[in-house]
Amino acid sequence: MRLRLDSQGHARLIESTVNGIAEATTIGQVVRRSWSRCLSTYSLDPQQVKKPVIVERSELESRCERIGAVLPIARVEMLGLSRQMAHTQYGIMLTDQDGVILSYVGDPAFSMTARRSGFREGAIWSEQELGTTAWAPA
């Protein structure tokens, strides 16, 4: 089942699910735990749309150095996959354990939209920063 809600309806669903009021059968346990962390631990407002924070260039370079040979190997694979996904308006990202995008490859026709949305190298897409839509260990 796919839920379609406006931002206020989505915020109400999150809050009622976390508070045990809503029927949560369509919401998986992993998502419910994430919503709970976002509200109680990170104090995120589900009605607020946030842009990701971008780390300084020197910090991004340091993070890339930390993963060593993984980055160039992953980049080759990402480029190959992106050719298969040409004209799809999708992107491929490699993040570190903190959700910082270390490498991004995407459909060139979609690249400006993606960049404006925060899908770019150095952007922090952690659950702590952006909520459940972000990548984070469950």
> Could you tell me the mean pLDDT of each successive run of 10 residues in the chain, 138 residues long?
58 81 73 91 88 95 96 95 86 93 89 87 94 62
| CA dist., res. 110 & res. 33, Å (int) | 32
Question: Is residue 27 included in any domain, yes or no?
Answer: yes
What is the predicted pLDDT for the residue at 132? 87
Six-digit token pair at 63? 């993070």
What is the predicted pLDDT for the residue at 135? 54
Question: Is residue 91 included in any domain, yes or no?
Answer: yes
CB neighbour class for 48 (10 Å; exposed up to 12, middle 13-18, buried from 19): exposed
Which contacts qualify for 66-75: CB closer than 8 Å, 24 or more apart?
66/96, 67/96, 67/102, 71/102, 71/103, 74/103, 75/103, 75/105
Q: Which helix (H) or strand (E) holds 106?
A: strand 101-106
What is the predicted pLDDT for the residue at 134? 59
Question: Is residue 135 included in any domain, yes or no?
Answer: no
What is the predicted pLDDT for the residue at 47? 84
Phi-psi region at 134: left, alpha or beta (left = phi > 0; alpha = psi -120 to 50): beta
| CA dist., res. 50 & res. 44, Å (int) | 10
CATH number of residue 108's parent domain: 3.30.450.40
Q: Say whether both 73 and 36 belong to one domain.
A: no
Q: What is the pTM of this model?
A: 0.78
| CA dist., res. 20 & res. 18, Å (int) | 5
Six-digit token pair at 133? 């839509």
Q: Say whether both 82 and 120 belong to one domain.
A: yes
